[in-house]
Structure 1
Amino acid sequence: MASFTRLQVYQTLLENPIMPIFHHNDLEVAKKILTACYEGGIRICEFTNRGDYAHETYSELRKFGKKNFPDLVVGAGTIVDAASATLFIQLGADFVVAPVLHQDVAITCNRRKIAWMPGCFTLSEISKAEEWGAEIVKLFPGQASSPDFVKAIKGPMPWTDIVVTGGVEPTEASLKSWFDAGARGVGIGSQLFPKSLVEANEWQAIADKITEAVRVAKSLKA
């Protein structure tokens, strides 16, 4: 069962505009990534459903997070069907993120009052997602878009809340460009925890990198 209501999830994301996105097959490494995120000031993150037994890793990681970081919101990403949504909700997912737009996922999440953030790339997809109950949509892939596109969306649809995933760098220039365009948050993956640092067990360096990204993001949003 989710530890947070969907309203709490949305509010956490709006107040903490960087959402790390990660996956690792090794549970112990995943725990260290989660710990580095928390120590770096992150309060919402996404574990992606990729690879065999990803749900088993998520289950144990969610238990670890609930015990050690009770105020950390942890969702499940790369959810592309209702069956996967049901499974991860049962494992305690606080929210569900999808790279695509499927109504069966929306219905499943809405039935359980779980926050749902679908991947959209056109105004028509965004409008349909909002019709199906999405409060925040994921603009994906961000690297195929631009801040100007976000600004263009906000023109006719100023009520739309967008989180950009893909193509966002944890630098002041990159974050400023997306936030100035109207993005409410960003999802960032391996640039927050480079493979070289993970393999070298440089967890403090990773936490420090995340701390700086969080500081910059919050200062820009303020």
Structure 2
Amino acid sequence: MALRLNTSKLNSLLRPTSVRALSTSSLDRTKSTDNYNAVLTKFANVRACAVLRTPTSEACPKAMQACIDGGFKIVEFTLTTPDCLDHLSAFRQKYDGDVMVGCGTIMDTSDAERAVDAGAEFIITPVMLPDVITWCAARNIVCVPGCQTPTELLNAYRHGAPLQKLFPGVAGGPAWVKAVSSALPMLSINPTSGVTLDNAGEYLRNGAASVGLVAPLFDPVAIQNGDWDTIAKNAEIVMANVKEVGPYVRK
């Protein structure tokens, strides 16, 4: 008789007890379980996040607006962008309930606090930071930490990250994601490097839960020239490829 993997039971066992049992009743900035699930459902349905870094504050809202005009419904402002949190707050107010807004390049819990206070609906880190992951997990805030290896991906999951950002890109691309997601089916991998306008759908077909796009979407030359139409067209190409794959089944 073939053995069948009970992923629900395995998921429960792999998560540390401190994350499973932690009470959030007395913690500041705590979100509801419904809010937490709504963020994950949005990722599962949309499956693509626009990750914006611009060298100037002036370019930031124009580039992000072009991306949204092109069809993106999940966007990430990064702290390396001047006045990042001001722009994040403005877009959260403008698109609340339609476009989901998060914050990236979070390096510690103080960054996370400031981002959440500005309106960030999810938190992204460039590397695997257990203190930020557990801070978010205790507050029902979705954290997507940067990981490079299968070990880091699994450790991020075990610390309480429901999505795991694959960064930077790895040799093999979609094939690598397929191999790792098959061997570790509890993971929900979000490649955010090596993803292009044309291969976003391929990553999803090979097991990625969602993808993030940076330079291929926000072409640095287009930003420098104020060519917002090119960014909007890039967004249209990505979202067309992603929609062909369909929603992700949450784990």
Name the % identity: 29
Asked if the contact 2:69–2:232 (Cα under 8 Å) also holds between the matched residues in 1, the reply is yes
1:34 aligns with 2:64: yes
Give the 4+ runs in structure 1 shifted more than 6 A.
none
Trace 1:77-96 onto structure 2 (pairs within 5 A): 77-96=104-123
Change (3 A) 1:22 1:144: farther
Query: Which residue does 2:205 correspond to in 1?
Result: 180
1:152 aligns with 2:182: no
Corresponding residue to 1:60 among 86, 92, 96: 86
Query: Which residue does 2:36 correspond to in 1?
Result: 6
TM-score (norm 2): 0.78
Deviations 1:52-111 (A, max 9, x none): xx4xx1222123213322221111111122222222222221111112112210122123
Corresponding residue to 1:104 among 117, 127, 131: 131
Q: Cα offset for 1:144? A: 4.5
> Counterparts of 1:68 and 1:7 in 2: how far apart (Å)?
22
> Counterparts of 2:66 and 2:84 in 1: how far apart (Å)?
17
Query: Which residue does 1:50 correspond to in 2?
Result: 80
Give the aligned length: 216
- Give the secondary structure class of the aligned counterpart of 2:191: strand
Query: Which residue does 1:219 correspond to in 2?
Result: 244
Corresponding residue to 1:201 among 220, 226, 235: 226
RMSD of equivalent CA atoms: 2.2
- Give the secondary structure class of the aligned counterpart of 1:93: coil
Query: Which residue does 2:19 correspond to in 1?
Result: none
| Higher mean displacement: 199-208 or 11-20 | 199-208
Trace 1:134-153 onto structure 2 (pairs within 5 A): 134-144=161-171, 146-153=173-180
> Counterparts of 2:174 and 2:220 in 1: how far apart (Å)?
27
- Give the secondary structure class of the aligned counterpart of 1:150: helix
Query: Radius of gyration: which is bigger?
Result: 2
> Counterparts of 1:78 and 1:201 in 2: how far apart (Å)?
24
Trace 1:93-132 onto structure 2 (pairs within 5 A): 93-132=120-159
Runs of 5+ consecutive residues of structure 1 not aligned to the other structure? none
> Counterparts of 1:37 and 1:183 in 2: how far apart (Å)?
22
- Give the secondary structure class of the aligned counterpart of 2:164: strand
> Counterparts of 1:141 and 1:27 in 2: how far apart (Å)?
25
